[in-house]
Structure 1
Amino acid sequence: MADAIDSIGQPVVDPRHPDKTIGGEDRHDTHVRRIIERLLWVLGLCLLAGAAYYLHLHKGPLPGEVAFSRAVQAIHYPAWLLAVITFFSTFNDIPPSIVETTVVFIFFLLIRWWKEAIFFILTIGVGNGINILIADLVVRPRPSPKLIHVYTPLTYNSFPSGHTEHDVVFYGSLLYITFTRQVREWRYHWVLIPFQIFAVMAILGIGYSRVLEGEHWLSDVLGGYLSGTLWLFLLIFCYRGVTNMQYKRRLKKEQGRMH
């Protein structure tokens, strides 16, 4: 029973076919996929650490970043498109983010999704906390108004992008929950499709908006995506472990009743 959950935190052992998962996948393939996932996570962590160390020593823009930012800002955007792009940054500022996180957390508590509520709040707390710590250690200056147009002049903590990292852990954790079994089997799960589309757009749009507004260099945004992905998957691994223990405990109780 060691392999008790699948990639979205659900039981994978089919009692009728011990060599298959509930989804019909081969248990060996599932085990190999998990090894690859963990290997990629470690490699991603090494990449983030290496980038943070390099940018701590070389705080200026990397080759090509000034040209990239200028090219993004030189594009003539229709008013509606510019409003959409900048919306993702504004919607992700600290006050709105606190309100959004609180509302979602309370919602999970009201519907008694205790595990999901804890997973959600821990993912955001751990992700944002570690990201802030990395930024404080790197101390990379924000883009200079002398090099590109900067909407809101800021000073330090440019790497990794906090807005980008937050969107990844916030919307990523909610997307993960919407693909868990209990949600997928909900009769009205289709009503979540607009939210899922918006979540993907928010994750993709936040990075572009941060470069467009001159708040971050491209490497800051990429670092934010990497940082958010690492902490999101770290908490997903923990979520799987908890689900695994709950499943085995429930299975043990059922076996005890049978005897």
Structure 2
Amino acid sequence: MAQPPPPVERTIGERDLTDWHSRLGRYLANSFTAIQQWTSARLLLVVVLAVAAGLFAGAVMMAGEIYESVMEQDGVYVFDQPLMTWVMAHRNPSLSPGIALFSDSGGPVWMPVIGAVAALAMCLAWRRWTPLVLLLLGAAGSLALTVVGKRLVGRARPPLQDSIPPHEYSASFPSGHSLNSLVIAGLVAYLLLAHISSKVGRWLLVIGMSLYVVAMGLSRVYLGHHWLSDVLMAWVVGIAWLTVVITAHRLWLTRAFTRPADEDAARA
């Protein structure tokens, strides 16, 4: 008996991911579809990367405002020390170990494990490589952005005497835990949304993942491992990269589902 075809992450509820509602989205999808009809796969990849770079540039401009405030010590920077002082005064020793354990889930050890397990589970359940490809792409990009940001800014973390062990010694800006957890959690949620039929279930997933991301960022400030502006920068850059990866996937879906119709029309 033939097995049913593996599911495709084309829709989220009643929303067709190959249907672009905004004018920019329609222009992007139409251009992408037109280009792939007469160009090679390699050139098409270059075009996709160029589009991704353009999308990312917009978010970089927003992140630049946070970066500038840190370098010039104004803007959101002025809230860093007052917030850290308030957090230190309100820490609960009985909660701190649990918060530290939770924060570890977004670190360089457990976040790759969580992402790998999620990708493997979805690949096996849906018999598709899409989850693995998207999560690898998302993780590689977020890691690269974290490393580049830390080396570019080289900002010191809050003083060790103000933080809760185990201490961390890498540069502070941006928060790698916050950035990487946002990208991985966001991609897992995006993939799962296409396979949850209940609207309530989809809302619960979005709320749950959002709370996880926010809690991860706040935990970094609570533990004294990052300033508030480190976390804000991570969120802005993480949302930007998440948008790029999801947009690339939607373009791939658009190409995959329009190509047969185009080929039939050409033969006719």
TM-score with structure 1 setting the length:
0.73
**2:55 and 2:244 in contact (8 A); partners too:** no
Between the aligned partners of 1:31 and 1:225, the Cα distance in structure 2 is: 26
Match of residue 142, structure 2, among 119, 122, 127 = 127
**1:56 and 1:139 in contact (8 A); partners too:** no
Q: How does 1:48-127 map to 2 (within 5 A)?
A: 48-52=63-67, 55=70, 62-75=77-90, 77=92, 79=94, 82=96, 85-110=99-124, 111-127=126-142
Q: Deviations over 1:71-126 (max 9, x none)?
A: 123225494x6565434312122221121122122223323222232112211111
Match of residue 175, structure 1, among 189, 194, 197 = 189
Between the aligned partners of 2:254 and 2:245, the Cα distance in structure 1 is: 14
Between the aligned partners of 2:88 and 2:261, the Cα distance in structure 1 is: 58
Query: What corresponds to 1:47 in structure 2?
Result: 62
**2:118 and 2:188 in contact (8 A); partners too:** no
Deviation at 1:62, TM superposition (A): 3.2
Between the aligned partners of 1:129 and 1:56, the Cα distance in structure 2 is: 21
Between the aligned partners of 2:134 and 2:211, the Cα distance in structure 1 is: 22
Q: Deviations over 1:20-59 (max 9, x none)?
A: x7xxxxx5xx215779xx998544211323543664576x
Q: Work out whether 1:236 is the aligned partner of 2:243.
A: no
Between the aligned partners of 1:158 and 1:236, the Cα distance in structure 2 is: 27
**2:142 and 2:180 in contact (8 A); partners too:** yes
3-state secondary structure, aligned to 1:62 = helix
3-state secondary structure, aligned to 2:160 = coil
For residues 50 and 133 of structure 1, do their structure 2 counterparts lie closer, same or farther at Cα, with a shift above 3 Å needed? same
Between the aligned partners of 1:191 and 1:62, the Cα distance in structure 2 is: 38
3-state secondary structure, aligned to 1:63 = helix
Between the aligned partners of 1:67 and 1:254, the Cα distance in structure 2 is: 65
Mean Cα deviation higher: 240-249 or 188-197: 188-197
**2:193 and 2:202 in contact (8 A); partners too:** no
For residues 106 and 33 of structure 1, do their structure 2 counterparts lie closer, same or farther at Cα, with a shift above 3 Å needed? closer
Q: Let me know the Cα RMSD of the aligned residues.
A: 3.5
3-state secondary structure, aligned to 1:135 = helix
Query: What corresponds to 2:18 in structure 1?
Result: 11
Q: How many residues align?
A: 230
Unmatched 5+ residue regions in structure 2? 1-9, 28-51
Between the aligned partners of 1:82 and 1:50, the Cα distance in structure 2 is: 32
Q: How does 1:81-230 map to 2 (within 5 A)?
A: 82=96, 85-110=99-124, 111-146=126-161, 148-180=162-194, 183-185=195-197, 196-230=206-240
